[in-house]
Amino acid sequence: MNSTSNLTHRVLEYKDVEWVTELAKQQVKHMGFMKDDVGFDDTMDTKEYWEDWIVGENKKTYATFKDGKFACLSSCYFWGLMPYATRKNAISAPGLGFAVRSIFPNHEKYCFDQIFEEGRVKIYMASNYDMYDYVTHPKRRIVFENFNKLMNESWTHCIEEIVEPGQMTKWKGFQSLTGYKTWPEKIMIKSWTHKDYGIH
Amino acid sequence: MEFINLDISHLDDVIELQNKQDNYMGVPKKDIDYENYFNKEYWELWLTDPNHQMTGYFKDGVLKVMMGIYYWKLFPYTTLGNHFADPTLGFKGMMLNADIMAHCCEEALKRGHVKSYIFNGRAHVDQKRRKRYFGRFEKRTNGKWTHKTEEIIPAFQMTKWKGFKMIAGMRAWPMETVIRSLTLNDEVQ
């Protein structure tokens, strides 16, 4: 059976806070880095943190399920300044293996569509630069090929800034994206802009 | 076609081109406090401050088209404004504006600014001309920038978004206006 069949998606609710917190605690990595290597902030594994991201003001967390079992999730913060959003907290189920290559792009597509439905035309995210380096890591290419296939019809992407190891972002507006801290490896700040059809 | 960066020595040229306009974004000058807004101090700031940059095109020693770039401090973005063309150029002036906008986006990119915002009146240019304008821009830039309509603001209303207030001149306008963005598209690099 195709790994993207029987996928369902939904916005998480208060009843989901407990299991999501437990899931977060089990993760050994954060943004693709070992938690211990990046001075991971333990408050991000608490019930309060996830309650805020699941039912807090201007925030939502979206999840995807395969055959009814959790596959992956990610959260979104809706900006107050401009019609934009930040996507963060991406987590996938332990043991998902290669299926993540097709399921995660589907999950992202669902999230982006939901965020656009909320009137947001641009989505920002900060990532471990190395995770996008499919020149050095060619196996990763398939994830991005699947992702681009799904996204390119409606969204275009822009690399806003590459933050060097041990340095802060040059831009105050991006500090919340990078957690107001420096990182031991390169961080990439990307945005996705929803495409217009026609000039209004 | 050569666009040059303007400095304080071009102050008279800039004011002369601005004075040739009989309207701003399709609205008669008298209806929008035009003379107080575009005064000498305004242009001095644009021609001297490091976060402001004016670019222009001269023909036979006369400034024909100009556009300004304001470099944001919070994000790697700019606002493109002050786009004036010699009214005697007619539609050709509008096409030159598309060329100068392409040039300004490239200038901004040299400083790492990957997105530019523009603010226009919506009605004074019809849909057909608007398409030709952005078509020309796309051609000049090989589709490198993604055009996005960020917000259409009804007449006499302020923008809904705090972050757009500066772009819209911190005021309501007597006509429908539109905030657009041009974002670097990494797919074509």
Q: What share of chain B is helix, strand, coil (3-state, %, to 5)?
A: 40, 30, 30
Q: Do A193 and B149 touch (CB under 8 A)?
A: no
How many pairs of residues across A and B have Cβ atoms under 8 Å apart? 72
A87 beta partners: A76
Among partner residues A161, A193, A199, which is closest to B183 by beta-carbon distance?
A193
User: For residue A195, what is the nearest residue in chain B, using CA coordinates?
Assistant: B148
Distance from CA of A158 to the nearest CA of B (A): 5
**Residue B97, domain member (yes or no):** yes
CB-based contacts of A197, cutoff 8 Å, min separation 6: none
> From the CB of residue B78, how many other CB atoms can be counted at a distance below 10 Å?
26
Q: Do B112 and A161 touch (CB under 8 A)?
A: yes
The CATH number linked to B106 is: 3.40.630.30
Chain A residues in contact with B73 by the CB 8 A cut-off are 172
Question: Which residues span the domain enclosing B59?
Answer: 4-145
pTM exceeds 0.95 for this model? no
User: For residue B177, what is the nearest residue in chain A, using CA coordinates?
Assistant: A200
pLDDT for A75 beyond 50: yes
pLDDT for A198 beyond 70: no
Residue A1 — pLDDT band, cuts 50, 70, 90? very low
**Average pLDDT over chain A, rounded to whole?**
87
Is B58 strand, coil or helix? strand
Q: How many structural domains is chain B composed of?
A: 1
pLDDT for position A134? 62
A69 beta partners: A66
Residue A25 — pLDDT band, cuts 50, 70, 90? confident
Q: pLDDT (tens digit, 0 to 9) for every residue of chain B, 189 residues total?
A: 799 999 999 999 999 999 999 888 878 888 777 778 889 999 999 999 999 999 999 999 999 999 999 999 999 999 999 999 999 998 888 899 999 999 999 999 999 999 999 998 877 777 788 888 889 999 999 999 999 999 999 999 999 999 999 999 898 998 899 999 999 998 644
| Burial class of residue B147 in the structure, from the number of CB atoms within 10 Å of its CB (0-12 exposed, 13-18 middle, 19+ buried) | buried
pLDDT for position A95? 80
**Residue B160, domain member (yes or no):** no
Can you read off the two tokens belonging to residue A23? 């899931």
pLDDT, mean of residues A150-161? 88
Which ipTM did the prediction report? 0.85
B65 beta partners: B57, B85
pLDDT for position A139? 63
Measured distance CA(B68)–CA(B62) in Å, rounded: 18
pLDDT for A21 beyond 50: yes
pLDDT for A135 beyond 70: no
Q: Do B187 and A157 touch (CB under 8 A)?
A: yes
pLDDT for position B177? 93
Measured distance CA(A80)–CA(A177) in Å, rounded: 15
Say if A69 is an interface residue toward chain B (CB within 8 Å): no
CB-based contacts of A92, cutoff 8 Å, min separation 6: A71, A72, A100, A103, A104
Can you read off the two tokens belonging to residue A114? 């939901």
- Any idea what DSSP says for residue B87? G
Comparing A119 with A131, the larger pLDDT belongs to A119
Can you read off the two tokens belonging to residue A175? 């500090």
Distance from CA of B180 to the nearest CA of A (A): 9
User: For residue B132, what is the nearest residue in chain A, using CA coordinates?
Assistant: A199
In chain A, domain spans: 7-194
**Residue B150, domain member (yes or no):** no
**Residue B157, domain member (yes or no):** no
Say if A171 is an interface residue toward chain B (CB within 8 Å): yes
pLDDT for A197 beyond 70: no
Is A169 strand, coil or helix? coil
Q: Is the domain A7-194 a CATH 3.40.630.30 member? A: yes
Chain B residues in contact with A78 by the CB 8 A cut-off are none
Among partner residues A121, A191, A199, which is closest to B134 by beta-carbon distance?
A199
**DSSP string of A13-58, one letter each residue:** -GGGHHHHHHHHHH--EETTEEGGGGT--GGGGSHHHHHHHHHSTT
**Residue B22, domain member (yes or no):** yes
**Residue B107, domain member (yes or no):** yes
Measured distance CA(B43)–CA(B39) in Å, rounded: 7
**Residue B185, domain member (yes or no):** no
Distance from CA of A82 to the nearest CA of B (A): 5
pLDDT for position A54? 97
CB-based contact B168:B159 (threshold 8 Å): yes
CB-based contact A187:A129 (threshold 8 Å): yes
Q: Do B74 and A121 touch (CB under 8 A)?
A: no
CB-based contacts of B36, cutoff 8 Å, min separation 6: none
Q: Which of A84, A120, A158 is most worth mutating to test chain B (most B CB atoms within 10 A of its CB)?
A: A158
pLDDT for position A133? 64
**Residue B88, domain member (yes or no):** yes
Helix (H) or strand (E) holding A76: strand A69-78
Among partner residues B130, B149, B161, which is closest to A81 by beta-carbon distance?
B161
